[in-house]
Structure 1
Amino acid sequence: MVDQWAGIRERVATLSVQSAGNEVFGALGHGWVLEEPLAEDGLAELEEQIGVRLPEEYRTFLLHVAAGGAGPAYGLFPVRRTQGRWRWEGDGVDLADLSLLAEPFPEQGPDPKALEELLAQRPEEEDFDEIENFDDAVEAWDEQWDAVMFAPERTAGAIVICHLGCALREWLIISGSHRGTVWADSRVDDVDLKPLLDDDGKPVTFARWYTDWLERAEHTVMATSPDV
């Protein structure tokens, strides 16, 4: 499994010096910089703190490529040790409850019928005479919606690994039957989490997620850069 990461750092470094590197979506966010890999003892301490062994593809990436940095969208969120504790850093990482990482990721999300009924109750401005009353109704409805869609239990056993902007994110499942796969989070658009699927309809694992991005980035740079 380590062999699949051979040459990855070098390929990213090559892209970093190409004039067309910034044509790749999100490159201005991560700047083509990869952090240093984790040491074995650091990874062991991280896994001890969260109470679960990370999926093999991800943990070998951490050991042999980087702790985070250049990657899909605005980059792979880094995991860092701060004041003796390990944590992931990036936009939205606090959505993941680190105390629940050893719990299995839920097999099912919220009941679709219940979500449909709740969406039908969303306040409409034209139904209110006063804007203050409308704002109060929206705030109350948002609290109900967030309690269902953003409950910590919904993302037990998962970590946020990147963001695509506009509150769209992607998660890596680290516990349960979906362990090792990457899921899209479009809850900001009222859509529950869904697994990323390849062209054959199979769930995308971490290695496929990262290497597919790298291949697309190389294609973009080669197609637009006079340097290659």
Structure 2
Amino acid sequence: MHEQQLKRIREKLKILQSLDPEMDLFGAENHEYEMDPVWTTERIAVFEQNWKIRLPEDYRAFLLHIGSGGAGPYYGLERPDDGVYAVIGYDDELNAISDAFQFAEAWNWDYDWYDESKEEEEWDALDHEYLDPKWSAGLLRISDFGCGISMNLVLNGPCSGEIWTDDRANRNGIYPDHYWGNTDRLRFLEWYELWLDHSIGELHEE
């Protein structure tokens, strides 16, 4: 089903690596264009059973045929086992990835975060609520954008399979990813290939 797209992705990844021997592209020094080993169908099944989820088919195909992490957008692709945690870089709080993802449209709080009339305790309480992992339930983190921003794969609900950005760290909420100028919402393989196209074009311009 995804054979042709996976073939294109392999070819474009080789082209991108050949264009960037000095690893000048953002994030390249982190992933070094290396891919973590592919997963087997058995390992995917265990992961899904452990977390009571079903991974989107195109992401499953990527895990089976390209890799389970490594070269990818921003600081690279995270391994699924790392993407289950609520906070980037910390493995002490799990995200409720099997719970329902509750948004169909971009979400944020309409607050003036620079309002000086509130007391510090009020802001601390609002901040704690705003950053509560309940808002990111149903999301598997797949990439670290930097500055506390993460890229995520929606695992359930009407938006299942789409890539969404969690930018609460900068008070910008949670929303479908449109970073590369795409007007349509992207699924995993579309998002990954668009990164390749964008990166190859960027390096050709230099």
Considering the TM-score relative to the shorter chain, is it more than 0.5?
yes
Question: Which residue of structure 2 lines up, in the alignment, with residue 219 of structure 1?
Answer: 201
Partners of 1:30 and 1:52 in 2: how far apart? Answer: 27
- Tell me, what secondary structure is at the counterpart of 2:111? helix
Question: Which residue of structure 2 lines up, in the alignment, with residue 88 of structure 1?
Answer: 83
Question: Which residue of structure 2 lines up, in the alignment, with residue 149 of structure 1?
Answer: 130
Task: Report how many residues are paired.
Answer: 202
Q: Tell whether 2:188 aligns with 1:192.
A: no
Residues 19 and 200 of structure 2 are in contact (CA less than 8 Å); yes or no, is this contact kept in structure 1? no
Structure 2's unaligned 5+ residue stretches are none
CA gap of 1:89–1:175, structure 2 versus 1, over 3 A, is closer
CA gap of 1:50–1:203, structure 2 versus 1, over 3 A, is same
Question: Which residue of structure 2 lines up, in the alignment, with residue 182 of structure 1?
Answer: 163
CA gap of 1:96–1:218, structure 2 versus 1, over 3 A, is farther
Q: Report the alpha carbon displacement of residue 151 of structure 1 after superposing the two structures with TM.
A: 1.4
The one-letter code of the counterpart of 1:50 is W
CA-to-aligned-CA distance 1:9-51 (integer Å, 9 cap, x gap): 3432443344455232211111111111101100010011110
Q: Report the alpha carbon displacement of residue 188 of structure 1 after superposing the two structures with TM.
A: 1.7
Q: 2:103 aligns with which of 82, 104, 107?
A: 107
TM-score, normalised to structure 2's length?
Answer: 0.82
Question: Which residue of structure 2 lines up, in the alignment, with residue 160 of structure 1?
Answer: 141
Residues 93 and 159 of structure 1 are in contact (CA less than 8 Å); yes or no, is this contact kept in structure 2? no
The one-letter code of the counterpart of 2:186 is V
CA-to-aligned-CA distance 1:43-92 (integer Å, 9 cap, x gap): 0100111101101111111111110110011101013xxxxxx4438971
TM-score, normalised to structure 1's length?
Answer: 0.75
Question: Which residue of structure 2 lines up, in the alignment, with residue 133 of structure 1?
Answer: none
CA gap of 1:51–1:97, structure 2 versus 1, over 3 A, is farther
Larger helix percent: 1
State the Cα RMSD in Å.
Answer: 3.0
- Tell me, what secondary structure is at the counterpart of 1:219? helix
Partners of 2:84 and 2:71 in 1: how far apart? Answer: 14
The one-letter code of the counterpart of 1:23 is D
Q: Report the alpha carbon displacement of residue 100 of structure 1 after superposing the two structures with TM.
A: 2.3
Using the aligned pairs only, state the percent identity. 25
Question: Which residue of structure 2 lines up, in the alignment, with residue 49 of structure 1?
Answer: 50
Between 1:88-97 and 1:157-166, the stretch displaced more is 88-97
- Tell me, what secondary structure is at the counterpart of 1:59? helix
* Larger Rg computed on CA atoms: 1
Question: Which residue of structure 1 lines up, in the alignment, with residue 153 of structure 2?
Answer: 172
The one-letter code of the counterpart of 1:41 is E
Residues 59 and 189 of structure 2 are in contact (CA less than 8 Å); yes or no, is this contact kept in structure 1? yes
